[in-house]
Amino acid sequence: MNTKFLKVLLVAFVFCQASSASAGLIYLSASIDGSQANAGAGTVSLATGNAALIYDDVSNLLSWEVDWSDLLGTLTVAHFHGPANPGQNAGVQVNFLGIAPGNPSIGSTNISSAQATDLLAGLWYVNIHSTVLPGGEIRGQIGVVDVPEPSTLAIFAFGVIGLASSRFKKQS
């Protein structure tokens, strides 16, 4: 058997194994603005922000990066709230600014299985509070982001292997 083909096969195998090792990671995001704040009634704020989260359903670790800009007031607190549908208010689940102060706030914490169920059902939101709008200046509902499953990546890898195999056979 051709050694180049074996190398391609080995690389594809390692790629598939690495992809399946991250099967427990779930990606989430939120677009944060004033129109969603105040239980959907909105605020006058033109501030915006973004949240990118990763939930590990094996370890229950929730990691995040949340950033914002152009608040009308001075930042006071920032939380993940839930469970609540868009347009509803709910209690604080994670005070992420208390765990990871700064803008952007980059941190992680473990959450319970019940919290994870609500988070993955789209029932959590990000709320950024300020001195001008202490009830929350900007808000964004958190939702799961679709990413390719490891099986999709494996099918792609086997396709690449097939193409490489046919190319190496033609050269022999």
According to the model, what pLDDT value does residue 146 have? 86
pLDDT averages per 10-residue partition of the chain, 172 residues:
40 43 82 92 94 97 97 96 96 94 95 97 97 95 84 60 54 58
| Alpha-carbon torsion, ordered 10, 163, 15, 4, to 10 deg | 30
Residue with tokens 């603005």: 33
According to the model, what pLDDT value does residue 45 have? 94
Q: How far apart are the first and last CA of the chain?
A: 10
Residue with tokens 């208010």: 89
| Residue (of 77, 59, 75) closest to 22 by Cα position | 59
DSSP state of 72: S
According to the model, what pLDDT value does residue 15 have? 44
According to the model, what pLDDT value does residue 40 have? 83
| Residue (of 144, 134, 142) closest to 82 by Cα position | 142
pTM for the model:
0.73
According to the model, what pLDDT value does residue 6 have? 35
